[in-house]
Each structure stands twice: as structure tokens, then as C-alpha cells.
């Protein structure tokens, strides 16, 4: 893949597909990590005299404008971080976008409105996506793919647009792919993968593939209760995907056959309700009360998981250990993150809620080997999938 160093960008309109899908609370950005991750590529292009046209999505609007998902707050934060004005277009490829781009001088930046305000961005119909990609292509001379969090999507701005313009990979995507290659091609061992989050169904495919590459899988979060149930434990009113029990049981047998260690909690924090102020207590996994739900791993499990992480040379983590947004159930995720900072391993935080948790819990991002910007994209890469946005950037 060509990099931005291979492009002559001076005086050119350079379309940068970034990932600026940040969490909002009433129009206020609660975590600007993805905006900050986009800065190096945008800054490098500005310094070389490019006219930078940044585009991204936010949330899941239904193919039409929705004020709840406007990128206007992102434009303001991007301007603050760049220390420069950012022209904001009130549409994606219409009159406002054309005017904003036409008004750019060398080294200046414009941000288009949410790409998903157009149905063509996410359409499964090639012609509809292509029509939108054509309109976006008219705004630029060159394309840079730097939105790693979206490269697993066959969307117009990710897949179709780079086929219409001379293109290169941005620094963020390049760095992400290099890290993932390190995890998949020749990881230093022992290689431990820590998986959490709510649903086991979201991670079935990656688990199947990791049984071929990892030495150890550490399982926490809501998804663990399907594993515990598959091993014969009662899980009370905890999150459970009964339709996945047979699959999970098969994975447990397959792991044992392959010599892959599966590490499950030995205790959990069980609460009477899904609420921060609900009565709760740590209980062994073989004694979860029928009327309680597990909302975090317990203190003994946190110690166990920390030991496994510290006894590793490579660690990939995706998914919190509990409902970290509620303080009583944040301790397992905090303990795991702390262990990662103390491990001698090359540690990768796999984006999404894991990256958000690291920042929300106050950890220094520099204490980890790499913090990814794309949870879903990272997982699909580890599944062995050929990601559309990466495929489109290859020469």
C-alpha cells in the first residue's frame, strides 16, 4: 500500500476518511480519543500544503439528517486540537460541502457532515453506494484512508471512493495493521487474549480463529455466563445466550484438545438488579443466587486474571470485565487494565469499550503498547477476514 509520503499533495484536495465516531452526551464529547488519533495524518497533510477534506460518520442515523448525530461538536473539538479553523459543511456532498471545499487554501481543513446522513454510504446496493462515492469523488483529487474503525465496512467512503481516486493509507491505519500483523503472524509467547463485553455471539468467530493462534483465552464480562453455563454452573439472572451454549461447549472441548488454556472467573460480583445502588456481593461462580445477576468479575478472579496477563509476552484485550460505567462494577476492568500496565508483555487494547474504559478509569495511555481505535475492525482482522477498507487501499 502506498502511504501519504508517496503522494504529491501540495495544493491538492485530499479526502481523508477518518474515524471520528466519538461518544456524545447531550452534544458534549465524552471521549475525544479518536479525534486525537486522527491528528497526525491531518497535520502531516496540512504541513505539506494539502487542502484537507475530512469525512467521517457518527452513530447510526438512518440514512438521513438527524441533529442528534451531527459532527458539528467534532468540528469544534478538531479545531481546538489543531489550533486552526475547521470549515464545517452542513451536508456531505451537496452545496455546503462544495462551498467549504472550494473555500480552502493550502494547509486548511474542512469537515463534512456525517456521512451516514446519506443512505448511499451504507447501502448494500453497489449502484447506490457508487452514486454517492461519485459525488464524494468530485470534492477531491486524492484519497487517504485513515479511519481504521470503519475499514471492516463495505461503505461508499471506505470501499468505493478509493477506487475512484489515487489513494494511499494514512498513518493511523498503517500503524493499526502493523500491530495486528504482530499479533497474528508471529506473536511472542505466551500469547494471551482477554475477551469481555456483553455478548458471546459478537465474538464467536474470533474465538474460533484464536484457538489456532493464542496460548490462552481469558474470558470475562457478560459473555462469560454462557461459558459458565456450558460448564454446568447456574448463573442466576445473568446475561445468557442459550442458543450459543452448544457452540461454546464445543469451543471448550476444542481448546482442551489443542492445549489452549481457557481461564474463567472463579467469583463474580452478583447484584439484585442492573443498577449502581442495587445490593451486591462477590460470590463463587458455583454459588450465584438465582435472583441475582453477575455484573463484574470478583476480586479473586481479578487476581487470577492479573497473574495470567503478567505471565505473558503478548496480550490482546477486547471488552470490559464488567459494567465499568457503574462504579461498583468497575473494579474488575480496572484491575485488568492495571495488570496490563505492569505486564512485561506487548499489550494491545482492542478499541471500543476497552479503550473507553482505559480513558474513563484514568489510565495513562502511554502505559500500554498500543490502544486501537477500532474494536470491530480489530476483531474481524483477528478472525482472518479480508477487510474491505484495507483491500481497497492496496495498489
| Residue 385 among the catalytic residues | no
Cα 392 → chain centroid: 20
By 3-state DSSP, what share of the chain in percent is helix, strand and coil, each rounded to 5?
45, 15, 40
Cα 25 → chain centroid: 19
CA atoms 384, 385, 389, 393: torsion sign: positive
219 φ, ψ (degrees, to nearest 5): -115, 130
| Residue 220 among the catalytic residues | no
Do residues 349 and 355 make contact, with C-beta atoms less than 8 angstroms apart? yes
Closest CA to 322 of 238, 391, 260, 201: 238
Per the annotation, where are the binding residues for substrate? Answer: 19-21, 34, 57-60, 116, 153
Buried b (16+ CB within 10 A) or exposed e, 176-192: bbebbebbbeebeebbb
Q: Tell me the three cell numbers of residue 238.
A: 445473568
Q: Tell me the three cell numbers of residue 69.
A: 448525530
- Secondary structure string (H, E, C) spanning 97-149: HHHHHHCCCCCCEEECCCHHHCHHHHCCCHHHHHHHHHHHHCCCCEEEECCHH
- Among residues 145, 236, 352, 389, the one annotated as catalytic is 352
| Residue 352 among the catalytic residues | yes
The CA distance from 117 to 65, in Å, is: 5
Per the annotation, where are the binding residues? Answer: 19-21, 34, 57-60, 116, 153, 203, 294, 325, 351-354
Per the annotation, where are the binding residues for (2R)-3-phosphoglycerate? Answer: 34, 116, 153
Do residues 4 and 44 make contact, with C-beta atoms less than 8 angstroms apart? yes
Cα 2 → chain centroid: 24
- Among residues 199, 231, 313, 385, the one annotated as catalytic is 199
Helix (H, G, I), strand (E, B) or coil at 200: helix
In angstroms, the first-to-last Cα distance of the chain is 6
The CA distance from 104 to 110, in Å, is: 7
- Among residues 13, 34, 135, 229, the one annotated as catalytic is 34
HSE, CB side, 13 Å, CA atoms: give it for residue 213.
Answer: 21
- Among residues 182, 359, 376, 385, the one annotated as catalytic is 376
Question: Which residues participate in catalysis according to the annotation?
Answer: 34, 199, 352, 376
Amino acid at each position: 500500500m502506498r502511504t501519504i509520503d508517496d503522494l504529491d499533495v501540495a495544493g491538492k484536495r485530499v479526502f481523508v476518511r477518518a474515524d471520528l465516531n466519538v461518544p456524545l452526551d447531550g452534544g458534549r464529547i465524552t471521549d475525544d480519543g479518536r479525534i486525537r488519533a486522527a491528528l497526525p495524518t491531518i497535520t502531516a497533510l496540512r504541513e505539506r500544503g494539502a487542502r484537507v477534506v475530512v469525512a467521517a460518520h457518527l452513530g447510526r442515523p438512518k440514512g438521513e439528517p438527524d441533529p442528534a448525530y451531527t459532527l458539528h461538536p467534532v468540528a469544534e473539538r478538531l479545531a481546538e486540537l489543531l489550533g486552526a479553523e475547521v470549515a464545517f459543511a452542513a451536508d456531505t456532498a451537496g452545496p455546503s460541502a462544495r462551498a467549504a471545499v472550494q473555500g480552502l487554501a493550502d494547509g486548511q481543513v474542512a469537515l463534512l457532515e456525517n456521512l451516514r446522513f446519506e443512505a448511499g454510504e451504507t447501502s448494500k446496493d453497489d449502484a447506490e453506494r457508487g452514486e454517492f462515492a461519485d459525488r464524494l469523488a468530485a470534492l477531491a483529487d486524492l484519497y487517504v484512508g485513515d479511519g481504521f474503525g470503519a475499514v471492516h465496512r463495505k461503505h461508499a467512503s471506505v470501499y468505493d471512493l478509493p477506487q475512484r481516486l489515487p489513494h494511499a493509507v494514512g498513518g493511523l491505519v498503517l500503524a493499526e495493521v502493523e500491530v495486528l500483523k504482530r499479533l497474528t503472524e508471529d506473536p511472542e509467547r505466551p500469547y494471551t487474549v482477554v475477551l469481555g463485553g456483553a455478548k458471546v455471539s459478537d465474538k464467536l468467530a474470533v474465538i474460533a480463529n484464536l484457538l489456532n493462534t493464542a496460548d490462552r483465552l481469558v474470558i470475562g464480562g457478560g459473555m462469560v455466563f454462557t461459558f459458565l453455563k456450558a460448564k454446568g454452573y447456574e448463573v442466576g439472572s445473568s446475561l445468557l445466550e442459550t442458543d450459543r451454549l452448544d457452540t461454546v461447549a464445543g469451543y471448550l472441548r476444542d481448546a482442551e484438545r489443542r492445549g489452549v488454556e481457557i481461564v474463567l472467573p472463579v467469583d463474580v460480583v452478583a447484584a439484585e438488579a442492573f443498577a449502581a445502588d442495587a445490593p451486591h456481593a462477590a460470590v463463587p461462580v458455583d454459588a450465584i443466587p438465582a435472583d441475582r445477576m453477575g455484573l463484574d468479575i470478583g476480586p479473586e478472579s481479578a487476581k487470577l486474571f492479573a497473574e495470567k496477563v503478567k505471565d505473558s509476552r503478548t496480550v490482546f484485550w477486547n471488552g470490559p470485565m464488567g459494567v465499568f460505567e457503574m462504579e461498583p462494577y468497575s473494579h474488575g476492568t480496572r484491575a485488568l487494565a492495571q495488570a496490563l500496565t505492569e505486564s512485561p508483555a506487548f499489550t494491545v487494547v482492542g478499541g471500543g469499550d476497552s479503550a473507553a474504559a482505559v480513558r474513563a478509569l484514568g489510565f495513562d495511555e502511554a502505559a500500554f503498547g498500543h490502544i486501537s481505535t477500532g474494536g470491530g475492525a480489530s476483531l474481524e482482522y483477528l478472525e482472518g477476514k479480508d477487510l474491505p477498507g484495507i483491500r481497497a487501499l492496496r495498489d
